[in-house]
Amino acid sequence: MGLLRSDDMYFYLFTCFKDNAMKAVERFGNLESIQFIDLNRGEQTFNLPYGHQIKRCEEALRDLMILTRECRNWDVHLEGPANIEEMEDCIRRIEKEAGQTNSALFDDIEEEVQDCRKWKEDTLKSYHVAKDDLISLIMAREVYKMGREKYKVVVENQEKKLNEETKDKDTLKEPLLDDNIDSEYGMISTCNIAGVIDTEDSMRLRRLVFRATRGKAMVITEDILPEIFKEEGISTSKTKYLIIFQKGDFLQEKLNTICSSFNGEKYDLPDPKRSQDAINELSSKIEKAREMINTISKEIKEYFISMNFIEDSNCDKFKIYEAFIRREIIIHGTLNKLVPIDSLIHGFFWCNLNNDALQEKIDVIQSTSRFPGLQVVEITDKNQSISKKLIPPTHIKSNEFLEAFQQIVNTYGVPAYQEVNPTYFTIISFPFLFGVMFGDIGHGLLLFLFSSFLCLKSDSLARSDSFLKAFLPARYLLLLMGFFSTFCGLCYNDMMSIPLEIFGGSCYDNTPTIGVQDCVYPVGIDPKWYRSSSSITFINSMKMKLSVIIAVSQMALGICMKALNAIHFKSKLDFYFEFLPQIVLLLVLFGYMDILIIVKWLSNYTGEEHMAPSIINTMINIPLKGAIIEGRPFFGDIQTNQSLSLILLLIAIVCIPLMLFPKPIILICGLEHEEEHHKPSSLKDAQKEAKEGAYVKLEDEKETPGQHDEEEKAEDAEGDNEEGCDEAEKKKIQDALAMDDVNIKIPLEKETDSQKLQAKIDALPDGNASSHSPSEIFIHQLIETIEFVLGTISNTASYLRLWALSLAHSQLAEVFFELVLWSGVEAQSPVMIFIGFIVFATASFAVLMCMDLMECFLHTLRLHWVEFQNKFYKGNGSLFLPLSFRSCIVHTDQGE
């Protein structure tokens, strides 16, 4: 029905044989116009008929996503299908290659994915073992190099020191330590421990060794260059250490325990005489390890490439498998919403197509994409029977422009079925009210240019990873917000607190002036008002009164939408006892106040300024002082003003009981009549209707010889089925269904089967159920009345935020300009001007273009959700979510 109301929904009964259910659901998914009703709501997952299949699909998808991540890790780019048609074409190629049908394809995919993952795990295990061995060899070589260089220097220094001491004492007849006298380091008996730990643990190792040995051990540490590990594709920081200490079993055991606690690697240093040979040997092993790793890497990459190859296709097999499995999950999830009874499966669905249009679409899909094995699908219109228990979902056609505005409304609540959609008005009212608060030529123009850039570059930004991509869904909303901010800034004649004379000079001069006849500025506020002593008083008064006029106009529009809803749903009670008293109450109170504002604007009080009446005092005096006018009357004489005000007050008082009493009294009086005449239809009536006129539609309707005989057999089988359909009769019917190009009637199930399906329907929550208790009806109406009467006053006051935020924006802009930028201009200092401009630009962007913009946006959101929509909008609907496989393609494109 367009944007104002949601599309019409039609209710259908779906019945087919179990063996063909998957094909039928697959076909309906291609229609993208059908939403199945969950008849198994509340059932445990493991009790659902297709729960096991969904679990298998999820496990296969999880394994597949692991393989997909590994492909990315090995720089194997995977290309997914662009649309459903391309996915199905690739699936047909895979089926042809494997020689399998669609039903058996998942089993092959599941087995292939499991084998691939097992191969991947085994190969990667070998790869990681080889990688760990390589890292261990590299660290060992680094430790050997440090041991050769550092250990020898330390021992030589100790020998030199020892020789000097013994030379003085003249006791060189025997060596001090004779157990290692023949070694190269043999003048002292020392031991060493060497290894590698994390760099962050090096200082802790030093402290522990020092405390454990009381300073009797020397610890040498040296960081391993990160470049050594980067060559192997590893980002880590390691430190090699060497501990030299006097030989002793107790001390060595203690140091070994300390080093082992760091979970590092320990290495035994080779004999100093063959240290270089050991280093060369390690270098040779490192080269062989690198060759092995390169071979494994090449093998893994080639394996993934070969596994993803599909002949004559640009798509990769893993992406096709992913889309296929996601589609299988959707299909099985839909089947879990249906009720299997014997050989048939039953279900209900909503569709935004009538019966003729739906059948036409099915025919088109069958003619372009035939599904082998699909035998029977019965679709029976039940829009006037069972569906009365269920509330139809809401389907509102949208596009890129409307999406952001519709999301604003849906965030508060989805419109009820064919309820007036506030988005129709939000498209203009939302950016306009935002512009009233954010009105500034400069800031509004910046927002407009930014959103224009988003609109022009939307395609390229959508394909990029830029942070601007997040703003794309709201680009048209931001565009209108920027436009109306600029428009309101022109009306205020305000550009970053600077009044502009772009439409010529003012007819006022700089001398004090009471008033000049016929002095009207072409567009917006006269710039001389910003330089007058009463600028704040004048501008605030104007903005405040404009806010009240806008408030009454938008709230009146909301109440008028209640009238449209009442007319559409044929609710006379809502029209006569809600809409009429509400609109009258609003207009006689605040509509009258708006008229007084306009009349006062149009009146000339020159020379009689003290006689100008106060609108606020006038409105207060109407109920409290008998509508006394303080000052000159707005129109006519004082008596006319008083009489009119009192009449309007009396009308407003009468409207309150009209809203409160008639509707609940009428509902309570007609309660018994409604219960007798509005009982929900039973499934038995629906099946009777289906028996009389429901036919099965097969792939072709071409009449064949013997078709009439087959129909008679099916009718006989149907008659027998009313008393009890045995297996032999069902076998006969299924054999008849297996023949091509015949039309037969579906056999109705047994009475017990009808009761099973009826029980499922009865278990569904009644969306149209409402309170029938007289006290609850009256209390509900009392709350509605009090809420409207008090809300009329509070909502009108709430619109004053339009004036308040506009004032805050202009005052902040003025403070930033005068105290930051203009102070440098007055000082005539280029340095201060430069610094001041940077501070001014930064503060304007952070405070006004970010914080104040968000504040104005949120206040505009509040005005629409509360002050406008609560006059007519229930927002208790549910979105129409048709069965579709497009999400499979979206997920496949996005990846993990």
Residue 751 included in any domain: no
Residue 156 included in any domain: yes
Q: Is residue 163 very low, low, confident or very high in pLDDT (cuts 50, 70, 90)?
A: low
Supply the range of the domain harboring residue 211: 142-293
Residue 563 included in any domain: yes
Number of other residues whose CB lies within 10 A of the CB of residue 540: 14
Question: What confidence score (pLDDT) does residue 388 get?
Answer: 62
Alpha carbons 334 and 545: distance in angstroms, whole number: 56
Residue 90 included in any domain: no
Computed over every residue of the chain, the mean pLDDT equals: 81
Identify the three-state secondary structure at position 799.
coil
Q: Which of 257, 274, 293 is the last residue of a domain?
A: 293
Q: Dihedral, CA atoms, 103, 108, 111, 113, nearest 10 degrees?
A: -100
Please give the single-letter amino acid code of residue 12: Y
Higher pLDDT, 671 or 643: 643
Token code pair at residue 281: 């040997």
Task: Give the pLDDT mean for 681-698.
Answer: 43
Token code pair at residue 811: 């005052």
pLDDT tens-digit profile of 204-256?
Answer: 898 898 888 888 888 888 888 777 776 666 667 788 888 888 778 888 888 88
Contact between residue 4 and residue 421 where contact means Cβ atoms under 8 Å apart: yes
Phi (first) and psi of residue 240, to 5 degrees: -95, 145
Alpha carbons 672 and 352: distance in angstroms, whole number: 35
Alpha carbons 524 and 520: distance in angstroms, whole number: 9
The label of the residue with tokens 């030299």 reads 244
Closest to 884 in 3D by CA, of 22, 32, 28, 86: 32
The answer, yes or no, to whether residue 587 has pLDDT greater than 50, is: yes
The answer, yes or no, to whether residue 180 has pLDDT greater than 50, is: no
The answer, yes or no, to whether residue 673 has pLDDT greater than 50, is: yes
Contact between residue 412 and residue 436 where contact means Cβ atoms under 8 Å apart: no
The per-residue DSSP string of 719-769 comes to HHHTT---HHHHHHHHHHHTSSS---PPPP--HHHHHHHHHHHHHS--TT-
Please report the sign of the dihedral spanned by the C-alpha atoms of residue 365, residue 366, residue 370, residue 375: positive
Question: What confidence score (pLDDT) does residue 31 get?
Answer: 86
The answer, yes or no, to whether residue 531 has pLDDT greater than 70, is: yes
Alpha carbons 550 and 373: distance in angstroms, whole number: 63
> Which residues are bridge partners to 220 per DSSP?
242
Task: Give the pLDDT mean for 387-401.
Answer: 85
pLDDT tens-digit profile of 131-145?
Answer: 888 888 888 888 888
Alpha carbons 604 and 479: distance in angstroms, whole number: 40
Question: What confidence score (pLDDT) does residue 49 get?
Answer: 87
Question: What confidence score (pLDDT) does residue 490 get?
Answer: 93
Contact between residue 769 and residue 388 where contact means Cβ atoms under 8 Å apart: no
pLDDT tens-digit profile of 453-468?
Answer: 999 999 999 888 889 9
Task: Give the pLDDT mean for 851-864.
Answer: 96
Alpha carbons 100 and 111: distance in angstroms, whole number: 14
Longest dimension (CA), the chain: 139
Residues with Cβ < 8 Å from 643, sequence gap 6 or more?
none
Higher pLDDT, 277 or 576: 576
The answer, yes or no, to whether residue 371 has pLDDT greater than 50, is: no
Task: Give the pLDDT mean for 627-646.
Answer: 87
pLDDT tens-digit profile of 254-268?
Answer: 888 888 888 888 888
Task: Report how many helices (DSSP H) and strands (DSSP E) the chain contains, helices first.
Answer: 34, 9
Task: Give the pLDDT mean for 537-562.
Answer: 95
> How many domains in the chain?
2
Q: Which of 753, 781, 799 is the last residue of a domain?
A: 799
Question: What confidence score (pLDDT) does residue 221 get?
Answer: 86
pLDDT tens-digit profile of 317-341?
Answer: 999 999 999 999 999 999 999 988 8
In terms of residues, how long is the chain?
A: 896
Q: Which of 241, 258, 293 is the last residue of a domain?
A: 293
Higher pLDDT, 144 or 378: 144
Task: Give the pLDDT mean for 831-836.
Answer: 90
CA distances from 331 to 23, 679, 800 (A): 9, 35, 53
Contact between residue 379 and residue 832 where contact means Cβ atoms under 8 Å apart: no
Closest to 78 in 3D by CA, of 848, 895, 709, 738: 895
Residue 417 included in any domain: no
Question: Which of 311-315, 504-508, 864-868, 880-884 is predicted least confidently?
Answer: 504-508
The answer, yes or no, to whether residue 363 has pLDDT greater than 80, is: no
CATH of the domain at 274: 3.30.70.3450
Residue 804 included in any domain: no
Residue 187 included in any domain: yes
Q: Is residue 676 very low, low, confident or very high in pLDDT (cuts 50, 70, 90)?
A: low
- Residue 812, classified by CB atoms within 10 Å of its CB into exposed (0-12), middle (13-18) or buried (19+), is middle
Contact between residue 794 and residue 870 where contact means Cβ atoms under 8 Å apart: no
Q: Is residue 689 very low, low, confident or very high in pLDDT (cuts 50, 70, 90)?
A: very low
Token code pair at residue 765: 């929550």
Select the highest-mean-pLDDT range: 151-160, 590-599, 630-639, 826-835. Answer: 590-599
Higher pLDDT, 152 or 72: 72
Residue 453 included in any domain: no
Question: What confidence score (pLDDT) does residue 182 get?
Answer: 42
Alpha carbons 604 and 631: distance in angstroms, whole number: 14
Task: Report the phi/psi class of residue 496: left, alpha or beta, with left for phi > 0 and alpha for psi in -120 to 50.
Answer: left
pLDDT tens-digit profile of 741-777?
Answer: 333 333 444 545 666 777 777 777 766 666 568 889 9
Q: Is residue 584 very low, low, confident or very high in pLDDT (cuts 50, 70, 90)?
A: very high
Question: What confidence score (pLDDT) does residue 440 get?
Answer: 94
Residues with Cβ < 8 Å from 717, sequence gap 6 or more?
725, 729, 730, 732, 733, 747
